[in-house]
Amino acid sequence: MNKTALVTGGASGLGLELALLLAKDGHNLVLVDIDAEKLQLAKQEIETNFPVKVQILAKDLSQINISEEIITELNEIQIDVLVNNAGFGLFGPFHETDWKREEQMLNLHVITTTHLTKLVLKGMVERGSGRILNLSSLAAFQPGPLMSLYYATKGYILSFSEAIACELKGTGVTVTALCPGPTKTSFQKVVANDSSENKISFNMASAKEVAAYGYKAMMKGKPVAIPGAFNKFLAFLPRVMPRNMAANIVRKIQEKNREE
C-alpha cells in the first residue's frame, strides 16, 4: 500500500517540486493550498505522470484552527510524511507594515506549522515511522530588519524543528528543517507586493534544486538542511560576528534588492 504525504503550499514552487519527488517515490498525496486553480493543475500534472492518487484541499492556511479542519476532513487518512511548506513574506519597517497581513503570517508560519505537526506526530510515533519536513530559511540564523517578523518566524521553525528532532531520536520518526537561501519562486513578488524581482541574484537557486536537496535530507533524517556551500557559510557567519553587524548587513541587502 502506498504511503501518503501531506504537502502545504503544494500548488506551485517548492511545494509542487517536493510533491513531484514524493509522487515519484510512490507516495499518494494530499495537497493543500489557497489557490484552487493551481491545485487542480498540480493534481492533473502529478496523476498524469505518476501512478498515485492526489487529493486537493483549497484552504487558507493562515486561519486559526485550519489544521484541525484539514485533519478532520481527511477522515483518518494516515499521514506518513508531512511537508510544512506554505509561507509568505512581508517587506517594510515594522511600524509601517499591515498588522492583518502580519497576523496571517504568524498564524501560518507558527500556529499552522506547529499544530499540523502536533496532529500527525503522535500517530507517527505510535507506528514507529514518519518524516516531517518544515520549511525554514537562511533567514532563521540572524535578525532581519525590514522583514522582521518573517525572519523571526523562520527562526521559530528552525528552533522548534531541531528541538523535536532531538526528542524523537530512536522513535523511527524524523524532523528536518530545510533552510534555503534565495530561491526562484513567486516569493519575492509576494514580499514586495508588486512585480519587482531580486536585484541580487548571484546566489539564487532553482526551486527544483532546493526541493531535491531538502527531499534527500528528509529521507536521510537530517535535522537541518542548508542547500549550497555559500549558504552554509552565511548561516555560520552570525555566530562569529556581532549580531548588530549581522542585522545591518541584512538591512543593506533588503534595501538593495528593492531599490528603484
* Per-residue DSSP letter, 239: G
For residue range 54-67, what is the model confidence (pLDDT) as tens digits?
Answer: 999 999 999 999 99
Q: What is the pLDDT of residue 186?
A: 59
Could you give the dihedral angle defined by the CA atoms of residues 78, 124, 106 and 39, in that order, rounded to the nearest 10 degrees? -30
Handedness of CA 113, 115, 120, 125 (dihedral sign): positive
CB 13 within 8 A of CB 185: yes
Residue 14 in grid coordinates: 517548492
CB atoms within 10 A of CB 24: 13
d(CA 54, CA 167) in angstroms, rounded, equals 32
Active site residues: 150
Q: What is the pLDDT of residue 77?
A: 95
Amino acid at 84: N
Question: Which segments of the chain does DSSP mark as H helices, in order?
Answer: 13-24, 36-49, 66-73, 99-106, 113-127, 148-167, 187-192, 207-220, 229-236, 243-257
Whole-structure pTM value: 0.89
Q: Which residues pair with 8 in a beta bridge?
A: 32
Q: What is the pLDDT of residue 44?
A: 98
Q: What is the pLDDT of residue 196?
A: 47
Residue 63 in grid coordinates: 486561519
Q: What is the pLDDT of residue 194?
A: 46
For residue range 79-99, what is the model confidence (pLDDT) as tens digits?
Answer: 999 999 999 999 999 999 999
Residue 117 in grid coordinates: 505537526
Low-confidence residues of the chain: pLDDT under 50: 188, 192-196, 199-200
Q: What is the pLDDT of residue 234?
A: 82
Give residue 199's domain range: 4-257
Amino acid at 226: I
CB 5 within 8 A of CB 30: yes
Q: What is the pLDDT of residue 188?
A: 47
d(CA 23, CA 46) in angstroms, rounded, equals 7
Number of domains in the chain: 1
CATH number at residue 65: 3.40.50.720
d(CA 136, CA 117) in angstroms, rounded, equals 14
